[in-house]
A and B are shown apart, each in its own frame.
Chain A
Amino acid sequence: MTPTADLRERVVAFVAHLRLTHGFRVGPGEAAAALEALGAVNLGQRREVLDALRAVLTASREEGRLFDLAFDAFFRLREGPPPPQLPPLLPETKAPLSPPPPSRQPGGRPGEERPVPGSAQAENPEEGTGSPSSRPNPDREAEGEPGTPARILTARLSPHAGAGGEVDAPGDDLPDLLRAAGALVRAVELGRGRRLVPRPRGTRLDARRTLRAAARTAGDPARLRWLGRPRRAPRFLLVLDGSRSMGKSATLLLRFAQALHLRSRRVEVYAFSTGLTRLTPYLRRAPPGGPLTLPDLGEAWGGGTRIGENLLRLARGERGRVSRDTAVLILSDGLDTGEPEALSRALRDLRARAGLVVWLSPLAALPGYQPVQRAVQAALPHLDAFLPAGGLEDLRALGRRLRR
């Protein structure tokens, strides 16, 4: 069925709307393909039109989720109430195991996110709804009262205390951090890749090049050519403790994560406090050189600490992505209100799959530090290294320390 001129115009406008409002990378080529796709489906069936346009105009699961909302809103423009304000694409992107947006029905069509029971949100329904700043927070209320020491202590140790708000990580140390990150990327050696490439010396005969050389000597392979395996470029999985106890170290390590991200595209960054959030899309968008500011990270920043639970979610959610090429860096002081058993399970999982698991602690940089925290005690048997990360000097030394 051929789309009418009016529909063609609307579709082209929709493509522009997706690009300008939601940051989709779609242009005239995609608009042409969308129109072509409409010619191949039944235009009387709304569902077919939606599915066809989604297949052409989206390129990831996250875009797919946003697309359905944008489609509904855009094609209702003419009649009915004004469309709801939709968030831009990138802030919509969440951790792989994050719960679905409240407007979607669970379990229906492809592209929908399902809640994961057993996760922090599922066990504590009140944590999964609304932004931390908007929902009632008994602990935060308790902090304002002239309370007893016990009440104050409860407030300080509460997993919800003080969470939320925009994250500012100002600092003019980016050049130093980039040097430290570069040294780390060069230092991490996780073995050889499986791809065979021509090398002066190697483990396997390069029959193709040897034969080409042999043709000049009447089939006599006088000069042998070799194939070898090049060094594998490491991937990094950074897990940053954004809880309140980390203080200024958290922002330093966040800037370090940004620097590492600038040095290598193979970096995934997560932050956790009571909840877990994927930071990679934010870092990808942050302009290098300017002050690093992130939107409200909710339960992933500035609250209490649940290391084990969040690492377990990460280990399960990122299971497919963690391989022998991956260096897992956990940046945390180890002050935890959660159970160490979960942490132990998570690290055992990560250790079994990753090439390297390193814990960086700001506390370990203090003189006379002893790793007595329960979380650190539970983690130590599963770590390749436990290293200090108190300041720039420690980060600069990181590559050197990991090379040994």
Chain B
Amino acid sequence: MTEPSAPPDLAAAFRERGYVAGPALVTALRLVVALGKPLLLEGPAGVGKTEAAKTLAAALGTRLIRLQCYEGLDAQSALYEWNYARQLLHLRAAEVGGRPVTDADLYGPEFLMPRPLLEAIRQPAPPVLLIDEVDRADDAFEAFLLELLAEWQVTVPELGTLTATARPHVLLTSNRARELSDALRRRCLYLWVDYPTRGQELEIVRARLPGIHETLAAQVTRAVHALRELPLGKPPGVAETLDWAAALVALHRDHLDAEALDLTLGAVLKLREDQLLARATLGKLAAP
């Protein structure tokens, strides 16, 4: 198995790639690489959980393999599938040609279509495997993951047991749409990722939008933090802050005023009721 390695200063490597990571996240990611344990990241939507996995892959110079979870996801869709149409054609052709067909002919690698999990364990160098929004998958899939995360091997009935050539660095994310099992939690390192502080978020805006006017960056950050204090149905995440700031930059604004707010409110608040609720608060912030 290839020896894992991480840049000595992971925080700086993240910052170079426009991701301002807090110390707890940096330590947890270092442990993922050093201990070879999966990391479960929980927190509200839009705080950068998925982005952390992408940035880790970039920082380690390795491949990111992503499995997006959804209700109804099963082991077949996550692991491998056989190319049934090709197999049937192969059977037909063999019959016409009068050739006998064995299982080995029919279930060869040319008919195997690897899905993210199988692909992850067949990589020569350890990739970053992102199992995104694992809370959306159902209990049965979670139970299946337990075996994979513990043994790093999968069994394809027709091919036998396949063991990982290089153990992937695994990150799981959850928005807490449902409670994950204790068994899964215990197998993972755990980190709750919260919204960044105002200072951190301002730093993120500066890092991701280097050309942004300082006044605008400060105003947007302050406004987003004021919005998160309201009882909104969908509070804005960091992604929304960046979208909003980018929209304002695209409109050549250097500060936030009532008109700019009207034009771009949809970039930060995605529910009509939230927009109505937030108008008064934002009005005060955008007042001259």
Query: Which chain A residues border B28 with CB–CB below 8 Å?
Result: 51-52, 55
For residue A78, CB closer than 8 A to chain B, the reply is no
Would A37 and B233 count as touching, CB distance under 8 A?
no
Would B24 and A54 count as touching, CB distance under 8 A?
yes
A-B pairs with the 5 shortest C-beta distances? A194-B72, A219-B91, A59-B185, A40-B34, A118-B231
- Nearest to B29 among chain A residues (CB) is A55
Would A40 and B190 count as touching, CB distance under 8 A?
no
Would A110 and B185 count as touching, CB distance under 8 A?
no
Would A219 and B191 count as touching, CB distance under 8 A?
no
Would B84 and A207 count as touching, CB distance under 8 A?
yes
Q: Which residues of B contact A (CB under 8 A)?
A: 22-25, 27-28, 30-31, 34-35, 37, 39, 42-43, 45, 70-74, 76, 82, 84, 87-88, 91-92, 94-95, 101, 103, 106, 138, 140, 175-178, 182, 185-186, 188-194, 197-198, 229-234, 273
- Nearest to B135 among chain A residues (CB) is A320
CB distance from B28 to the nearest CB of A (A): 4
Query: Which chain B residues border A321 with CB–CB below 8 Å?
Result: 176-178
Would B91 and A214 count as touching, CB distance under 8 A?
yes
Would B23 and A48 count as touching, CB distance under 8 A?
yes
Would B27 and A59 count as touching, CB distance under 8 A?
no
Q: How far is the CA of A349 from the CA of B31 in the complex (A)?
A: 41
Query: Which chain B residues border A193 with CB–CB below 8 Å?
Result: 71-72, 138
Would B233 and A208 count as touching, CB distance under 8 A?
no
Would A208 and B82 count as touching, CB distance under 8 A?
yes
Map CB proximity to B onto A196-207 as digits: 1 under 8 Å, 0 otherwise: 100000000001
Q: Is the interface of B mostly helix, strand, loop or mixed?
A: mixed
Would B186 and A52 count as touching, CB distance under 8 A?
no
Q: Indicate whether A117 sits within 8 Å of B190 (C-beta atoms), given known contacts A40-B30, A55-B31, A110-B25.
A: no
Would B192 and A219 count as touching, CB distance under 8 A?
no
* Residue in B24, B45, B185, B229 whose beta carbon sits within 8 Å of that of A109 in the complex: B24
Interface centre among A39, A52, A59 (most CB of B within 10 A): A59
Q: How far is the CA of A349 from the CA of B82 in the complex (A)?
A: 43
Q: Indicate whether A40 sits within 8 Å of B31 (C-beta atoms), given known contacts A195-B138, A218-B95.
A: yes
Q: Indicate whether A320 sits within 8 Å of B35 (C-beta atoms), given known contacts A194-B71, A196-B72.
A: no
* Residue in B30, B175, B230 whose beta carbon sits within 8 Å of that of A320 in the complex: B175
Q: Which residues of A contact B (CB under 8 A)?
A: 25, 30, 33, 36-37, 39-41, 47-48, 51-52, 54-56, 58-61, 63-64, 107-112, 114, 116-119, 193-196, 207-208, 211, 214-215, 218-219, 221, 235, 312-313, 316, 319-321, 323, 345, 349
Would A211 and B72 count as touching, CB distance under 8 A?
no
Would A37 and B84 count as touching, CB distance under 8 A?
no
Would B230 and A118 count as touching, CB distance under 8 A?
yes
Would A55 and B186 count as touching, CB distance under 8 A?
no
| 5 pairs, CB–CB < 8 Å, chain A vs chain B | A33-B37, A39-B34, A51-B27, A55-B24, A196-B72
Q: A195-B140, A196-B74, A219-B92 given; name 6 further pairs at CB < 8 Å.
A: A37-B31, A51-B24, A56-B31, A108-B197, A110-B194, A116-B229
* Residue in A59, A196, A218 whose beta carbon sits within 8 Å of that of B190 in the complex: A59
Query: Which chain B residues border A111 with CB–CB below 8 Å?
Result: 24, 191-192, 194
CB distance from A190 to the nearest CB of B (A): 13
Query: Which chain A residues border B31 with CB–CB below 8 Å?
Result: 37, 40-41, 52, 55-56
Query: Which chain A residues border B182 with CB–CB below 8 Å?
Result: 25, 59
CB distance from A95 to the nearest CB of B (A): 13
Query: Which chain A residues border B232 with CB–CB below 8 Å?
Result: 316
CB distance from B34 to the nearest CB of A (A): 4
Q: How far is the CA of A181 from the CA of B273 in the complex (A)?
A: 36
Query: Which chain A residues border B45 with CB–CB below 8 Å?
Result: 320
Query: Which chain B residues border A316 with CB–CB below 8 Å?
Result: 231-233
Would A61 and B189 count as touching, CB distance under 8 A?
no
Query: Which chain A residues border B27 with CB–CB below 8 Å?
Result: 41, 48, 51-52, 55
CB distance from A350 to the nearest CB of B (A): 12
CB distance from A96 to the nearest CB of B (A): 9
Q: How far is the CA of A36 from the CA of B33 in the complex (A)?
A: 12
Q: How far is the CA of A193 from the CA of B72 in the complex (A)?
A: 7
Would B88 and A211 count as touching, CB distance under 8 A?
yes
- Nearest to B70 among chain A residues (CB) is A194
Q: Indicate whether A59 sits within 8 Å of B233 (C-beta atoms), given known contacts A110-B193, A211-B87, A321-B177.
A: no
Q: Indicate whether A312 sits within 8 Å of B175 (C-beta atoms), given known contacts A51-B24, A111-B194.
A: no
Q: How far is the CA of A235 from the CA of B28 in the complex (A)?
A: 33
Would B42 and A61 count as touching, CB distance under 8 A?
yes
Q: How far is the CA of A63 from the CA of B42 in the complex (A)?
A: 13
